Chains A and B, each alone.
Chain A
Amino acid sequence: MAMHNAKSKKRFVTKLTITTGVLLIFSTLLFIYLPFNLYSPGYSIQFYQTPDSADISINEGKNLSKAGLLDDAEKKFRLALNYQPSLASGHYHLACVYLKKGNIKEAIREYQRTIALDPESHHSFYQLGMIFTKKKEYQSAVSSFLRCISSKPDFIDAYIKLGHLFTETGNLSDAVKTYQDALKVDKNRADLHVFLSVSYFKQKKFDLAEKALNKALEISPQSVYAYDNLGALYAFQGKHYLAIKMFERAIKLDSDYIPSLKNYARLSSDLGNLKKAEELLRHLIEIEPAEENQALLKEVLRKKGE
């Protein structure tokens, strides 16, 4: 009985093995030939949609963000990334929404994701530079701005922010170099000459500062900012006549220009022209009723004995 069982089991295994083999071969042949036999030249399928869902969601997100609907915009960008997680622009826009919402930690993370996918994303480096500057993480801010400039050497705003950062941290020679580099990209930007003059001024290189400001005025004769800075420079050097001339030109161009009103008022007060100082300060307070300005006016009135 046991022998019979063993024999029938053996026979079963043999049958199973052979059947499996035959089935394998036949199904292989079937799968090889079927695709060519079932093909019809008329077949056509839509492999994708244009524009695709990610693009549509990103455009919607951008519009919502512009309209200030940040939560809805965030949802749209997330939806886009759900479709195409490797799309750097999706991460970039999401980061910008986080930045607007004040969620700095998430913004940084998304900007960094953008950079991982698109190492040439200069906008992401710029935004990171701005965030790190605000957080007073100067080292990271500097390297972000430098990387931004390296990716986009004609991106003047990055030079300006980097120059300001260097000036703020007392790294004046680097600030000067940064503005000079920016001027190599666009020598006709008056504001760059003014920023450069500020750095020279802080370095006590007054001649160079004056030269830079004159250059700014040469490029942009209507630059209130340049006149004001030149006025401040002359005032500091004791060239009061020239300083007054510059402040007056600035105020003539823009009668509400606060720095010039303030600087001119201070100079007038120092020079004893209290009437002029009072007149300027009263106008200033109308525009900017800040405590500091009120205090200045009080000081002038006290001097006048009123």
Chain B
Amino acid sequence: MDATIYTLQDYMLRTESIIYILIVATLIGLTGFWLFLSGRDED
């Protein structure tokens, strides 16, 4: 992550790639969190 970035293209590619991975992880994580949160709901 400390690699030198020379162009805006490099910067966008790097940051957007990480964000896409985070978004997929978030979607999976939030689904799991919801199941954990409402796992003992009575209705």
A and B interact: no
Partner-B contacts on A (CB < 8 A):
none
- Chain B residues with CB under 8 Å of chain A are none
